Amino acid sequence: MIRAALPADVPRIAHFAAMLVRQHHAYDERRFFLPERVEEGYAWWLRKELSNDDVVLWVAEEGASIVGYVYARIEERDWNALLDRCGVIHDIFVDEPQRRSGVATTLARSAIDALEQKGAPRVVLHTAAANVGAQRFFDKLGFRATMIEMTREASSGDSQRVG
């Protein structure tokens, strides 16, 4: 069952969010920072977001257990990204034992529907370059690649300049 998150759900969601942060950090430690007390930070942020009308924060339940969540929100025009007002799926996570059972698909489709009901003309998301499985998953849901982030670490000034 998919339902709106409640304040009592925040610790479990924050636990999952921290797992997602650690997964990204493991992909590339230099690109994805890992804050101390990440669960506490996420709990603070998500409690605040629960009262935001532009936010979709839903959980997937099996029995009495939360097995996944989706966090999305309406974002206003971003001139730097050349991105008009849209819905953005920021996080989607399903606990390992429930993966490949349709939970992520149900969470994603529910979030997309909710964002569209809130007036989003499109839905955007980011996936880590190393997370090929997530890219295939979102491709099946109709997402298309529109941007590739590239990262270069600062050097001591001894690199060759282009141009």
Assign residue 38 the CATH number of its domain.
Answer: 3.40.630.30
pLDDT digits (tens, 9 = 90+) for 37-56: 999 999 999 999 999 999 99
Domain span including residue 91: 2-140
pLDDT digits (tens, 9 = 90+) for 115-152: 999 999 999 999 999 999 999 999 999 999 999 999 99
User: What is the C-alpha to C-alpha distance for residues 105 and 109, in angstroms, rounded to an integer?
Assistant: 6
Res. 64: pLDDT tops 60: yes
Is position 147 within any domain? no
User: Taking the CA atoms of the chain, what radius of gyration do you get in angstroms?
Assistant: 17
Is residue 3 within 8 Å of residue 69, measured between CB atoms?
Answer: no
Is position 27 within any domain? yes
Is position 148 within any domain? no
Is position 161 within any domain? no
Is position 70 within any domain? yes
Quickly state the pLDDT bin for 155 (edges 50, 70, 90).
confident
Is position 74 within any domain? yes
Is position 21 within any domain? yes
Is position 152 within any domain? no
The per-residue pLDDT for 163 is 58
Residue with tokens 């000034």: 157
3-state class of 69 per DSSP?
strand
Quickly state the pLDDT bin for 67 (edges 50, 70, 90).
very high
> How many domains does one find in the chain?
1
